[in-house]
Chains A and B, each alone.
Chain A
Amino acid sequence: MMFNLLNKEIRLAAHPNLFVFALMGILVIVPAYPYGMVFIFACLGPYITFMYGRETNDIYYSALLPISKRDIVKSKFLLVCLSQMVSLLISLPFTFLRIIILPSGNPAGIEANAAFYGFGFLTFALFNLLFMTEFFKTAYKAGRAFLAAIIPAALVVIAMETMVHFPMFEWMDSTKASDFARQLPFLIIGIILYALGTWTAYKISAKRFEKVDL
């Protein structure tokens, strides 16, 4: 069932830009760039896909399939989480590559390191919690949901990019193995918050969507 739902989302519901924005993980190879934009792009993809879904009547089509309303919500979460994970996974080889070819670091903002990924998970958790739950109040108002979610998500990214310019957070802006141990808790907490936040978002969204009149 999960495969069928995801297959439907990828082949019928997803806007091509979802994949394009997921590919933006590659940006971590740019010598000087605020890498937090990778997360912002990964948030834009689902928004455009949900707008596209409104145009293609995707929710109506899904409602006619032999699945429950809860499954419709599940399929959207599967797609969004997949695109977010792809975005991070794609960036991963380039973070290693840049250590070799660009050892001088990123002067524009945070390095692509464990703390960066921790913040990424945190940004996505916040986005999912706000965007998905707001969207499934109506299964229609994607714009309002996006605004409600992208502002707090962007604030997390801005905070991350700003923090690393203060000497006290220098360890967060490092790719040295010695600083990795200090960054690792960030990553672990980020992953835990992402899992918890997304699961909570799914539960709330499913409950809200049950009450929506299509």
Chain B
Amino acid sequence: MDLLAVQGITKRYSSFTLQDISFSLPQGKIMGFIGKNGAGKTTTLKSILNMVKLDAGTTQMFGLNYYENEQRCKQEIGVVLGEIDFYKQKKLFSITDVTKRFYRAWDDTAYCKYMDAFALDPQKRVKELSSGMKVKYMLALALSHHAKLFILDEPTSGLDPVSRNDLLGLFRQLVKSGERSILFSTHITTDLEKCADLVTYIKDGKLLKSAETTEFIESFSFLKTLGETAPLSIDEIMVRTEKVIYDV
């Protein structure tokens, strides 16, 4: 079963168009969503979440039309917008206390468990958390209302290699039961080799490929140079696809 199915998402801005993006994410899988800066990753995620008004396209979430069942679907998702800090001066317990009232399936025991597991102190203010801890706090909130689908925008950007590795390990743990799925955007492609089951790649607002990681890598074999036999890394695929020669 697909927890998320995106079909033909199109959003036109004056200087950029996100065009006909389609992909699906099965239950129990992690999908890496890649593209260089400005390719349209954040716009795609915001479009899925109805934060930007679409020109065309649909999103099915848990088998429901998301735009017609937004509040119901949001009960079962967790979202992290990596670059955006919320309520920096507020203590975590205040944010939690406000947030939990909106979720029917809120579980205080689970919340305490995840706060402990992630070594998060509820008395701390958001501004006192590192980037990795902020992501973990948002994940703890999502896990406490038993979210099944996690949509994470650049959750690993700005993290040191140790924290990044720690977070990627956590992602694998989250999907281990086969119930949850994660869609996360990144431009750090080494993250994907460590944890993604599927990769979706967009370039200049257009979908280049969405497939299982091995199939994805194979589909870019045409980028290999003469004599290259080893599979390309996702990093090499991106670099070769995006290569620009400046006429200066």
Contacts A4-B101, A65-B102 known; 13 new A-B pairs at CB < 8 A: A11-B97, A12-B87, A12-B94, A57-B84, A58-B87, A63-B49, A63-B51, A64-B81, A65-B99, A67-B71, A68-B71, A213-B51, A214-B46
Rounded to whole angstroms, the CA-CA distance of A3 and B87 in the bound complex is: 20
Residues of B within 8 A of A (CB): 46, 49-53, 70-72, 74-75, 79, 81, 84-90, 94-95, 97-99, 101-103
Confirm or deny: A103 has a beta carbon within 8 angstroms of a beta carbon on chain B. Answer: no
Rounded to whole angstroms, the CA-CA distance of A142 and B68 in the bound complex is: 30
Confirm or deny: A7 has a beta carbon within 8 angstroms of a beta carbon on chain B. Answer: yes
Q: Which residue of B lies closest to A8 (CB)?
A: B98
Partner of A61, one of B74, B86, B103: B86
1/0 per residue, CB under 8 A from B, across A187-213: the answer is 000000000000000000000001111
Known pairs A11-B98, A213-B52; A66 contacts B75 (CB<8 A): yes
Rounded to whole angstroms, the CA-CA distance of A60 and B88 in the bound complex is: 13
Are B86 and A60 in contact, CB atoms less than 8 angstroms apart?
yes
Chain B residues near A212: list those with CB within 8 A: 53
Rounded to whole angstroms, the CA-CA distance of A210 and B182 in the bound complex is: 27
Are A57 and B51 in contact, CB atoms less than 8 angstroms apart?
no
Are B87 and A61 in contact, CB atoms less than 8 angstroms apart?
yes
Pick 22 A–B contacts, CB within 8 A, sort by A: A4-B102, A7-B98, A7-B101, A12-B98, A56-B87, A57-B84, A57-B86, A57-B87, A58-B86, A60-B84, A60-B86, A63-B51, A64-B49, A65-B74, A65-B102, A66-B74, A66-B75, A66-B103, A67-B71, A67-B74, A213-B52, A214-B46
Chain A residues near B81: list those with CB within 8 A: 60, 64
Are B88 and A56 in contact, CB atoms less than 8 angstroms apart?
yes
Chain A residues near B74: list those with CB within 8 A: 64-67
Known pairs A60-B84, A214-B51; A66 contacts B98 (CB<8 A): no
Chain A residues near B89: list those with CB within 8 A: 56
1/0 per residue, CB under 8 A from B, across A60-78: the answer is 1101111111000000000
Nearest CB on B from A61, distance (A): 4
Chain A residues near B79: list those with CB within 8 A: 64
Nearest CB on B from A212, distance (A): 8
Nearest CB on A from B104, distance (A): 8
10 closest cross-chain pairs (CB), A and B: A66-B74, A213-B52, A214-B51, A61-B86, A4-B101, A56-B87, A64-B79, A8-B98, A66-B75, A65-B102
1/0 per residue, CB under 8 A from B, across A1-35: the answer is 00010011001100000000000000000000000
Rounded to whole angstroms, the CA-CA distance of A4 and B87 in the bound complex is: 17
